[in-house]
Amino acid sequence: MTSLRKIFASVCRLRQSLGFGVHSPYIYALLTDVFRERLPYYAYEAIGQLPGESPYSSGSFKINRLLFRLVNRFLPDSIIEAGNSDGRSLKSMSLARKNAVCRNIPDDHGFSTEELEQTLGDSRQLDFLFISSTNAFREAFEAALPLTGEHSVFIIPSIHADKDRRMWWKAVERDERTGFTVDLYDIGLVFFDRNHPRRNYRITYC
């Protein structure tokens, strides 16, 4: 059922994924240069060689390539991965921004604004948040909100994994505390740049 749902969603998103109806030059550039960029990056080989990774799998390797492209695009000074991690996603992101504060907060540490502030250290603004394999996605999201700035980006996987997550993601799309959102089906992205109209884009990525 999940595969059929994903196939149906991909067909429905095809027009916008190709840029039709996307009038913002900023969003169109993200669409063509980040989300659907097919050219190889220098770091893809290194990502594929991470322990437990495989360039032939369509799961984590695809997500980690996207995380690399996003960091490469936005060049955040602070990167936090919230949730238990095998290290591959964090390493993939750090390959694009070697001088950034790049930290993981496991599930068992809890997610609070104070914990995030301590992890960030002198860098008080959270530029880039990846909520990885955790059931506490609501908690991590709410804890990080007070630390956002105009250029902050949140990445949340599995937004369509079940009814509960789908309903939560719908609430995030309507949340006045955020800017525009991007629904890539496997992953949701939340932006906080208010210079662009609040809108949800539903597209596919490579």
**Predicted confidence (pLDDT) per residue in 49-105, tens digit:** 998 776 655 568 999 999 999 999 999 999 999 998 889 999 999 999 999 999 999
The sign of the torsion formed by the CA atoms of 123, 125, 129, 134 equals: positive
For the chain, report the end-to-end CA distance as a whole number of angstroms. Answer: 22
Tens-digit pLDDT profile for residues 9-20: 554 555 555 454
Residue 193 predicted with pLDDT over 90: yes
> Residue 92 in contact with residue 64, Cβ under 8 Å?
yes
Tens-digit pLDDT profile for residues 94-107: 999 999 999 999 98
Domains by residue range for the chain, with CATH:
2-202 (3.40.50.150)
Task: Give me the pLDDT at residue 24, please.
Answer: 82
Q: CA dihedral in degrees (71, 76, 81, 87; nearest 10)?
A: 50
